Amino acid sequence: MRLIIREDYEEVSEFIGNVLTQFFILFYYATYKKSYIANYIKERIRQFEPSSERPFVIGLPTGSSPISVYKKLVELYKQEKISFKHVVTFNMDEYVGLPRDHSESYHSFMWNNLFKHVDINPSNVHILDGNAPDLDEECKKFEADIARVGGIELFLGGIGPDGHIAFNEPGSSLTSRTRVKTLAYETIIANARFFEGDITKVPKLALTVGVATVMDAREVVVLITGAHKAIALAKCIEEGINHMWTVSAIQMHPKGLIVCDEDATLELHVKTVKYFKSIEHVHHSLIGSENLSLQGGVKQLKSVLSAANNRPTTPME
């Protein structure tokens, strides 16, 4: 698993801040001064070369955390650097009983923040229907739809302060699949901000992909920002896999990436933060050196590094 740390929420959005001091790396990355995650997704889609027969399948979250990522993806689309024509999406979750066109439904969220601004084919969008007559059937169908397109290539996720991923609240089985879930009181309080601060207006049930549904994706990228998520990040990274912090399941994923801001690292050991930063700096310096032809043999090192990380080396890595 890799951890990428940026100064603050905006830097999680901005691909480079003041982290890379060597001017040549700065020069190299200047062209990538965009959302780290949005750019990462753009690169993954580009490398995949999706087509109608072989679309890029992505899992997507809602919440305040990914808003900036979606904004950057829309910008990249407008600059013609990304197309969603051959992209198939599956959203993590949806409230039960909230009308689909309610401003706080995840359906509205996704269309308002991303889908209506890009060239995605509406039939390629999959969002659970929290008003389906048979909710269990709806969940089964969602899993079947994922299987039908060959599984999810990259699942992007956010977390709640209690470490839940999607709506997999503490105590959720780490082998869980898409299902109906009762929301934790802490989540209801956290989400009341979207319902005029009134917890009585927050739906108490949701449909959500399971922990295993997320972990079955070929790559998992999790966005964690803010001091209120610092304990969850520490539990996820420094302690064992635990159903009380369901995002910790990422430790078992062969290709997991967490992108966080400094605030979210407040509960981590200094050595943990230094360790992950040093890994990133070494990785960046190898790529930057190669680009400016300052060092021989770097290409070889880069491929070793890439193989070690079990992922293709991309400009933003």
Ligand X SMILES: N[C@@H]1[C@@H](O)[C@H](O)[C@@H](COP(=O)(O)O)O[C@@H]1O
Active site residue 93: yes
Active-site residue, selected from the candidate residues 14, 138, 153, 169: 169
User: Distance between CA 194 and CA 13 in Å, rounded?
Assistant: 22
Both tokens of 165, joined, read 């991923």
Residue number, nearest CB to ligand X: 63
Q: Least distance (Å) from ligand X to the CB of residue 62?
A: 6
Toward ligand X, which CB reaches closer, 166 or 268?
166
Q: How far is the CB of 170 from ligand X (least distance, A)?
A: 12
Neighbours of 78 (CB within 10 A): 11
Among this protein's residues, is 162 annotated catalytic?
yes
Q: Please state, in angstroms and rounded to a whole number, the distance separating the CA atoms of residues 184 and 201.
A: 15
- List interacting residues with ligand X (CB under 6 A): 61-65, 92-93, 158-160, 166-167, 187
Output the smallest distance, CB 93 to ligand X, in A. 5
Give the nearer residue to ligand X in terms of CB position, either 87 or 92.
Answer: 92
- Least Å from the CB of residue 37 to ligand X: 13
For ligand X, the closer of residues 105 and 187 by Cβ is 187
Among 164, 253, 283, 284, which one carries the catalytic annotation? 164
Which of 162, 216, 261, 290 is catalytic? The answer is 162
Q: Which is nearer to ligand X, 12 or 76 (CB)?
A: 12
Shortest reach from residue 278's CB to ligand X, in Å: 28
Shorter beta-carbon distance to ligand X: residue 39 or 246: 246
* DSSP assignment string, 185-248: HHHHHHHGGGTTT-GGGS-SEEEE--HHHHHTSS-EEEEE-SGGGHHHHHHHHHS--BTTBGGG
| Active centre residues (catalytic) | 93, 162, 164, 169
